[in-house]
Structure 1
Amino acid sequence: MSDFKWFFVVFIVLGVVWFVTGGPERPSSKNPFIHEPAPLGEGTTYTKSGFWSMFQFPFASKTNNNSTQTTNTDEKMAEEAIEEKKAVSNAIDESSAKNESPYKDIAQLVKASATQKNPDREYLQITISSKSASSVIIDNWKIRSAITGNQVSFGKASYLPRMGAVNTEYTIKANPGDKITITTGKSPIGSSFRLNKCTGFLEQYQNFYPTLPRICPRPKDEIPPEYAYATGPNAFNDQCIDFIERIGVCSINTRDIPLNMQPQCVDFITKQINYNACITKHSNDPDFYDDEWRVFLKRDSELWKDRREVIELIDENGFVVDSISY
């Protein structure tokens, strides 16, 4: 019994000492480790909120450095994209705020042959200022009569039409100095198109208004050097070269070829002097494309009055770019 009393006295004394030295507020009570162990796993840290915090948030917090870096990069790229978009659309936004087209004074409408009754000969022209700082994207623009209300949309053409094929039309990108001829009628080749150094061939069997420039390479200049300036069985003889020199510029041969003509010469005349062969050979030339577009509105009757008319050029946002009256 006396032993139990002594045990009870010792227990009370230890309790008093524990309370006097800090009790539950002692660091050792909050953290059971003598030295805090190293975090388990890369990038984790332990909290120092005490014992009870383990019931509130039992997992170690983790910081993902890669995620932060990716987020910062994405934000930077997004900011750059926004700034780039702002730079491109600045002129449009400013002009929209002023209720005017950003293409005003850049694209000019010209009367040309608007008074013609025949839709195939009735055409207007748009000229892009050579002083323009950039190309003009013509997409869903309109030409409208302020008098009759007649209007029509345009803005697509084939960049490189081919004969004997269905030509896809794309949005027109007009460069500074370009001219766009807009004909009311239908295209003789079935599509609108951009002119190039070979399109003069198209004029041989179709009628264009205005006529297409005939600026094709001369047939004799298309003779490969190994045929024109060589000797032997494959070289073109005088009869062949004389015949080729008489073929007109931008023209397919229509004359009878002599029966005794060299086979290789006949092959050249029939297969290499035509529109498709021309674009195949020259489409990569730096001067291949011309600065004119031909757009056809595919109408069967005239659109514009021959007198007392006001015609407006409207951009894709509905703003007047230019107008003419006569």
Structure 2
Amino acid sequence: MYAYTMISRTIFIVILLVAVFFGLSWAVSSIQNIIGPVPSESTATSTDSNGVERESSEPEPEPAQQQEPPAVESPPQEVIEPPTPPEAREGAVYVSRVSRPSYSRPGYVQLRTKLSEDERVIITGWRIESNTGSMIIPQAVPRYTFFGQNVNEDIVLERGDYAYIYFEKSPISKSFRLNQCTGYLNARADFSLVLPNNCPQLSRDSYQHLSGDCQNYIRRLRRCELPDPNITNAFLGEDGNECRAFINKNITIAVCYQRVNESDFFSNEWRVWVNRGTIFDSSHDWARLYNTDGMLIDEYTY
């Protein structure tokens, strides 16, 4: 009886183990179906010292990552330096001549410009220096007139402008920019260097209706010369009256200034007087031009 009982238990245990085994196999198969196949590993064989081949597992190489293209660098931007203003640029204004004084005329310095079309430079306050002295460029009258007050302002030079600076007192106590009418000043003051006579002249067609004597007199008048009343009053009769009326209406300083708004009325030339004797040696010297900041703009030797 005892032996029968032991055999029954043994058979039960065997059946239980078989059931457990098949149950585990089914579970593993179900899990694989759910999660997919397990990645395979590459195997490699090697032989040990006893000549027995052994398998070794090596992981599969990971796929190469795609490299991003290098970023394209933009070229460096060019830095544009602002142009040097003419008042601080060497040679923008330069000494073109130094004239030594003589018995009949004073010494003077001539300044010229090297400027672009839209540049302007103020030279009032600049210093001209020699080996023995120095002087400061003063103000001047930019729009000289015979009919109002002439106010001094800073001297402003543009492209093509030039200035004469005289070492003497101005005959009219003013420095000024020339215009088409300033030549009339030659009859009012004694200028060491005569002012240019650029006054406009009448066309001959405008007075051909006058008498012969009147026409001859008008033709003899030089530029910037006003008619002499002692001569015009000598013309007699109706022809004389017509001649005087025409001259008094058309040959005057006021008529000259009617051109003030024309583009070429004002000259490129300035006349400046510094009311002192020359600072330059009569034989040899060194002229240096400095701006208001003390920067050397130009130098000239003779």
Which residue of 1 is the match for residue 120 of structure 2? 135
In proportion to residue count, which structure has more helix? Answer: 1
Q: Specify the alignment match of 1:323 in structure 2.
A: 299
Q: How many residues are treated as equivalent by the alignment?
A: 218
Match of 2:191 among 208, 231, 248: 208
Q: 8 Å contact 2:227–2:247 — kept in the other structure?
A: yes
Q: Which amino acid aligns with 1:324?
A: Y
Structure 2 unaligned spans of 5+: 1-80
Q: 2:107 aligns with which of 115, 119, 122?
A: 122
Three-state SS of the structure 2 residue aligned to 1:111 is strand
Aligned runs of 1:199-238 on 2, under 5 Å?
199-218=182-201, 220-221=202-203, 228=207, 236-238=210-212
Find the aligned partners of 2:115 and 2:190 in 1 and give their Cα distance: 29
TM-score, scaled relative to structure 2: 0.63
Q: Percent identity?
A: 26
Which of 274, 287, 290 is 1:314 aligned to? 290
Helix, strand or coil at the partner of 2:196:
coil
Per-residue CA deviations over 1:260-316 (Å, capped at 9, x if unaligned) read 15335324434643444412x2111111111111111012x3322112322211111
Q: What does 1:235-274 correspond to in 2, within 5 Å?
A: 236-254=210-228, 256-257=231-232, 258-260=234-236, 261-270=239-248, 272-274=250-252
In the superposition, the TM-score normalised over structure 1's length comes to 0.58
The structural deviation recorded for 1:252 is 1.4
Larger radius of gyration: 2
Q: Does 1:151 align with 2:134?
A: yes
Give the match for residue 28 of structure 2: none
Q: Which runs of 5+ in 1 are unaligned?
A: 1-85, 96-100, 230-234
Looking at structure 2, the residues matched to 111 and 213 of structure 1 have their Cα atoms a distance apart, in angstroms, of: 19
Contact 1:106 1:128 in 2 (8 A): yes
Return closer, same or farther for 1:197/1:91 CA change in 2, 3 Å cut-off: same
Task: Give how far 1:161 is off.
Answer: 1.6
Q: In structure 1, what is the Cα distance between the partners aligned to 2:216 and 2:147? A: 30
